Amino acid sequence: MVSIKSYRWIAAFCTLLAGWTGNVAASSTTEIVVSVPEQRLVLLEDGRRVAEFPVSTSKFGIGDRPRSFATPLGWLEVAAKVGAGAPQGAVFKKRRFTGEVLRPNTRGRDPIVTRILQLRGLQPANARALDRGIYIHGTPEEQKIGQPASYGCVRMCSRDVVRVFDAASVGTRIQIVNTSLSRALRTLTVRPQLPAHRFAANW
Asked whether residue 5 is assigned to any structural domain, the reply reads: no
The C-alpha atoms of residue 135 and residue 113 are separated, in whole angstroms, by 11
pTM for the structure as a whole = 0.82
Q: According to the model, what pLDDT value does residue 28 have?
A: 72
**CATH number of the domain residue 170 falls in:** 2.40.440.10
Asked whether residue 196 is assigned to any structural domain, the reply reads: no
> What is the torsion angle, in degrees rounded to the nearest 10, for the CA atoms of residue 190, residue 195, residue 198 and residue 203?
-100
Asked whether residue 14 is assigned to any structural domain, the reply reads: no
**Closest to 143 (Cα-Cα) out of 113, 173, 171, 105:** 105
Q: Could you tell me the residue range of the domain that residue 143 belongs to?
A: 28-186
The C-alpha atoms of residue 192 and residue 201 are separated, in whole angstroms, by 24
Q: What are the DSSP calls for 106-154, one per residue? A: -TT---EEEEEEEEEE-SGGGTTHHHHT-EEEE-S-GGGTTS--BSSSE
Asked whether residue 6 is assigned to any structural domain, the reply reads: no
- Rg for the chain, CA atoms, rounded: 20
Asked whether residue 149 is assigned to any structural domain, the reply reads: yes
* Amino acid type, 88: Q
Looking at residue 172, the DSSP 8-state letter turns out to be -
Of the CA atoms within 13 Å of residue 100, those in its CB half-sphere come to 13
Asked whether residue 107 is assigned to any structural domain, the reply reads: yes
Asked whether residue 136 is assigned to any structural domain, the reply reads: yes
Q: According to the model, what pLDDT value does residue 71 have?
A: 98
**Which are the contacts of 26, defined by CB distance < 8 A and separation ≥ 6?**
none
What's the structural domain count of the chain?
A: 1
Asked whether residue 202 is assigned to any structural domain, the reply reads: no
Written as tens digits, the pLDDT of the chain (203 aa) is 444 444 344 444 433 343 333 333 335 799 999 999 999 999 999 999 999 999 999 999 999 999 999 999 999 999 999 999 999 999 999 999 999 999 999 999 999 999 999 999 999 999 999 999 999 999 999 999 999 999 999 999 999 999 999 999 999 999 999 999 999 998 876 566 676 554 444 33
Yes or no: say if 98 and 92 are a contact pair by the CB < 8 Å rule. Answer: yes
